[in-house]
Amino acid sequence: MSAVSIADGWKIFFAALKEERWWSLRVAAEWMYRLNVFARSIGRHQVRDHIHLLKDDFIKYLYQHGYCREVRLHVQKKECWSCDGTGEYWTGEECWKCHGTGTFSKTELYAFRFNIEGKHYAWHQLKHLVDYPVTLTESQSANYTEPPERDAAILKLQDAWLGLCVVWWCLLVHGRIGTLLLFLATWYRVKAFLGITAVETWLVHRRADLVFWWRHDSPWAKRRADDPEYFEIEQVSADDLEDIPS
């Protein structure tokens, strides 16, 4: 999987503007479906995290604007690896890892189903990441099942970046500003080119020296030392010192 340069990223960004020129939620939803399949097919990668961030923004917009037709609570259970899900060891003792439940961890997810221009889409979202009120269509939770394996509709990283930009443009024209890594990467490159990063690094390393200079050697500090009104300690004269018992 080859990397995408910042220059190529901007070319893809404006190509996405051309593809999303009709502001179609259906186009963005189709890209998000493909991106979600692509995210499950790759390992740990920066673009995978980016897909999940835009997916969160996209789901939030669709739900808050009436495109959702069903929301259910799913519980994803991970089997305890210490006892192989039995809850006890071969000796008959209770598993200390899962306390005899056979389940190592549980994760709650919202299962959203949307109807966008006559086509249905379904995505899961971690419950603790949902920061807006959600009304369940069924009160009883269900077990989460892994989605069936699908052939990756996106085979190149450039196509994934195109899809991300399409979804970002769609959210923008509908009044929602999503997260796009291209802007952050460009800003870091500009900072490095202008030397801002070097100045920031220098300031971090010289912060203690600058604080010391400001408090002791700066003109303001010297003026403060010359002005007795700045001192909170009462000035004591030589005559007063003679009255102090030794």
The domain limits of the chain are 6-194
Residues 73-129 have pLDDT tens digits of 999 888 787 777 777 777 778 887 777 777 777 889 999 999 998 999 999 999 998
How many Cα atoms are found within 13 Å in the side-chain-facing hemisphere of 60? 19
What is the tens place of the pLDDT at every residue in 58-75? Answer: 999 999 999 999 999 999
DSSP state of 125: E
Average pLDDT, the chain: 76
How, if at all, do strands 103-116 and 68-79 pair?
antiparallel
Residue 36, pLDDT above cutoff 80: yes
**pLDDT per residue over 185-227, tens digit each?**
676 667 666 666 666 666 666 666 666 666 666 665 655 555 5
Highest mean pLDDT among 29-38, 88-97, 175-184 belongs to 29-38
Provide the pLDDT for residue 207: 66
Please, are residues 160 and 34 in contact by the beta-carbon 8 Å criterion? Answer: no
- How many angstroms separate the CA atoms of 33 and 244, rounded? 85
What's the pLDDT band for 15 if we cut at 50, 70, 90? Answer: confident
Give φ, ψ of 195 to 5 degrees. Answer: 80, 10
> Pick the residue with more confidence: 163 or 224?
163
Q: What share of the chain has pLDDT > 70, as a percent?
A: 64
Question: Cα–Cα distance between 181 and 186 in angstroms, integer?
Answer: 9
Reduce the DSSP state of residue 240 to 3 states and report it: helix
Q: How far apart are CA 186 and CA 4, in angstroms?
A: 13
What is the separation of C-alpha 26 from the centre of its chain, rounded to a whole number of angstroms? 25
The DSSP code sequence of 173-236 is HTT-----HHHHHHHHHHHHHHTHHHHHHHHHHTHHHHHHIIIIISHHHHHHHH-GGG--SPP-
Beta bridge partner(s), residue 29: none
